[in-house]
């Protein structure tokens, strides 16, 4: 019997659990609970060329254009051809996407798409509906280990043979497996304003870095233009589908911010975000004007509830206060088209992984599709690969030894203030070098995760991610997509 460990409970981790054969021994490990993930928060939808007149070829072209042609073309072809088949399979299993009055699937429009190809479920709650549905199909014999942190990978004889965990009781254990799958999400909480779930702190990327596993495209962080903000704090995403439905970006005087930009309010996200940041720097406040959208509350029930919960008077003013913030990470652990990493028997799927499908700038609503496709490919590859030789199926308890190395870490608030200013939406070589010089004061790379508190481990992991982003950004010969460097 093949034994598999999945790290992460979002769509990618949950879906691969349903794709593996029924006789596998599977454990899903998640830092909090099965409902805590970016997938559960995804509003916009899932892109697929299923409508008449659309085609995988056009979806491929849109993805490449948005990604500034930095994408891996084979990964994009795989995404747009396999993705629709997997969505059809989910519909056949009972997944309910929104439909028109005649029963046909309803397709929305988002930035940089030439066709209406965005499927939604429960309006603006697609990620939650899809992930919840997939989780409902997970076999009862699959084990869940919630409130459990993965501290390290078990690497023996050049292979990944499992993980080191700290469970909810604080006990540190080694858990062995034939195959380990990282589906731990991105690094959104490296920045002070983010749409990401609170659990998303770059843990999988830090695991890979500590074990010399290859990474890719670390410079490319996507900042979403429209985060609901009040008193400079983020209270969730305002989905791009709202602009697809007719909303426009304005300032406090009603000036149309994107009026002189190609594709206007539906330009690629990096373009919109930089324009908004420049507008902010002139002293303006930013809003989304929703006055052209009829039946807003019915079309966007999740956003409407969130606005009401935070006392935003959107029904009267027809305006939503917004700011740009961190949303999605295009880089990550380098994988092939089967989600295999550079370490044998270790796979990575979803946002933590990078097979090149998103390029330098992710096309809207491709991320949920990638979760399905990469997980499907990984499951097929694992099914064809023999079990590990001389594997150890036992749990062994580790007692962390005392260390002479005392942790020297920045406060999280100071770290995030600097990341936003120096490795954020607009970068400069001077800022990047200054940021790396500042990071050099701390010893986050020398610390043993087993000896760190959860708080300090999070800061150390974020520091690792920040260093990787800054170094990768500096190494790029020119600005491209989400990596925008002034003067380059």
Can you give 167-211 as a three-state secondary structure string?
CCCCCEEEEECCEEEECCCCCHHHCCCECCCCCCCCHHHHHHHHC
Do residues 237 and 112 both lie within one domain? no
In a domain, 82, yes or no: yes
Q: Dihedral, CA atoms, 303, 93, 352, 38, nearest 10 degrees?
A: 20
Q: Is the sign of the CA dihedral 472, 478, 480, 484 positive or negative? A: positive
From 122, 136, 145, select the one nearest 93 (Cα to Cα). Answer: 136
**Overall number of domains in the chain:** 3
CB-based contacts of 94, cutoff 8 Å, min separation 6 = 133
Using DSSP's 3-state secondary structure scheme, residue 264 falls into: helix
In a domain, 306, yes or no: yes
In a domain, 89, yes or no: yes
CB-based contacts of 410, cutoff 8 Å, min separation 6 = 441, 442, 459, 463
Do residues 304 and 262 both lie within one domain? yes
Do residues 298 and 442 both lie within one domain? no
419: CATH: 1.20.58.100
Rounded Cα–Cα distance for residues 38 and 200 (Å): 8
Chain centroid to Cα 40, Å, comes to 11
Which of the 8 DSSP states describes residue 440? Answer: T
Q: What is the DSSP string of 284-301?
A: --EEEE-TT-TTHHHH-H
Rounded Cα–Cα distance for residues 91 and 83 (Å): 13
Do residues 193 and 120 both lie within one domain? yes
Do residues 253 and 360 both lie within one domain? no
| pLDDT score recorded for residue 111 | 78
What is the rounded end-to-end Cα distance, in angstroms, of the chain? 54
Residue written as token pair 């380990």? 180
| pLDDT score recorded for residue 403 | 67
Domain-ending residue, one of 299, 324, 349: 324
CB-based contacts of 474, cutoff 8 Å, min separation 6 = 429, 432, 433, 436
| pLDDT score recorded for residue 389 | 78
In a domain, 485, yes or no: no
* DSSP-H helix ranges across 156-268: 203-210, 241-244
CB-based contact 460:442 (threshold 8 Å): no
Do residues 381 and 256 both lie within one domain? no
In a domain, 372, yes or no: yes
Domain-ending residue, one of 399, 424, 449: 399
Do residues 349 and 389 both lie within one domain? yes
Do residues 70 and 41 both lie within one domain? yes
Do residues 369 and 423 both lie within one domain? no
Catalytically annotated residue among 166, 243, 269, 427:
269
Q: Give the Cβ contact number of residue 471 at 10 Å.
A: 13
273: CATH: 3.90.700.10
Domain-ending residue, one of 267, 296, 324: 324
> Which residues does the chain have with pLDDT short of 50?
none
Instruction: State the angle between helix axes of 412-422 and 454-475 in degrees (0 to 180), rounded to the nearest 10.
Output: 20
In a domain, 302, yes or no: yes
| pLDDT score recorded for residue 397 | 61
Using DSSP's 3-state secondary structure scheme, residue 133 falls into: helix
Is 269 one of the catalytic residues? yes
Do residues 66 and 86 both lie within one domain? yes
In a domain, 484, yes or no: no
Using DSSP's 3-state secondary structure scheme, residue 100 falls into: coil
Give the structural domain span for 242: 226-324
Do residues 146 and 160 both lie within one domain? yes
126: CATH: 3.50.50.60
Rounded Cα–Cα distance for residues 370 and 47 (Å): 10
Rounded Cα–Cα distance for residues 368 and 40 (Å): 11
Do residues 146 and 210 both lie within one domain? yes
In a domain, 231, yes or no: yes
């Amino acid at each position: 019997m093949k034994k598999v460990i999945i790290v992460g409970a979002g769509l990618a981790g949950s879906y691969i659990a349903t794709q593996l054969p029924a006789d596998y021994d599977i454990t899903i490990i998640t830092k909090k609970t099965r409902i805590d993930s970016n997938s559960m928060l995804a509003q916009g939808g899932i892109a697929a060329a299923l409508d008449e007149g659309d085609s995988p070829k056009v979806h491929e072209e849109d993805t490449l254009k948005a990604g500034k042609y930095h994408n891996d073309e084979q990964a994009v072809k795989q995404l747009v051809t396999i993705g629709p088949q997997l969505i059809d399979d989910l519909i056949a299993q009972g997944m309910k996407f929104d439909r028109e009055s005649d029963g046909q699937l309803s397709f929305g429009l988002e930035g940089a798409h030439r066709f209406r190809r965005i499927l939604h479920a429960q309006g603006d709650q697609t990620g939650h509906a899809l992930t919840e549905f997939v989780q409902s199909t997970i076999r009862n014999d699959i084990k869940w280990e919630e409130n459990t942190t993965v501290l390290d990978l078990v690497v023996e004889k050049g292979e990944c043979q499992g993980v080191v965990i700290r469970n909810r009781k604080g006990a540190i254990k080694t858990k062995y497996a034939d195959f380990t799958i990282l589906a731990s999400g991105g690094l959104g909480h490296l920045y002070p304003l983010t749409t990401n779930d609170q659990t998303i702190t770059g843990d999988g990327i830090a695991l890979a870095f500590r074990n010399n596993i290859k990474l890719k495209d670390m410079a490319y962080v996507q900042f979403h233009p429209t985060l609901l903000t009040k008193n400079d704090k983020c209270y969730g995403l305002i989905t791009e589908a709202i602009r697809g439905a007719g909303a426009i970006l304005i300032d406090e005087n009603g000036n149309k911010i994107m009026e002189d930009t190609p594709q206007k309010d539906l330009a690629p996200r990096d373009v919109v975000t930089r324009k908004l940041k420049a507008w902010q720097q002139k002293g303006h406040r930013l809003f989304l004007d929703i006055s052209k959208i009829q039946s807003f509350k019915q079309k966007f029930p999740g956003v409407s509830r969130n606005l009401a919960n935070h006392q935003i008077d959107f029904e009267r003013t027809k305006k939503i206060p917004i700011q740009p913030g961190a949303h999605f990470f295009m880089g990550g652990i380098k994988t092939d088209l089967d989600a295999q990493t550079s370490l044998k028997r270790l796979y990575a799927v979803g946002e933590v992984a990078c097979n090149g499908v998103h390029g330098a700038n992710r096309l809207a609503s491709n991320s949920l599709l990638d979760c399905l496709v990469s997980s499907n490919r990984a499951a097929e590859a694992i099914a064809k690969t023999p079990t590990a030789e001389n594997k150890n199926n036992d749990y062994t308890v580790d007692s962390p030894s005392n260390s002479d190395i005392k942790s020297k870490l920045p406060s999280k608030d100071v770290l995030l203030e600097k990341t936003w200013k120096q490795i954020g939406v607009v970068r400069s070589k001077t800022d990047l070098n200054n940021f790396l010089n500042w990071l050099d004061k701390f010893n986050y790379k020398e610390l043993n995760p087993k000896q760190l508190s959860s708080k300090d481990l999070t800061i150390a992991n974020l520091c690792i991610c920040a260093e990787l982003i800054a170094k990768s950004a500096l190494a790029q010969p020119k600005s491209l997509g989400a990596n925008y460097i002034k003067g380059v």
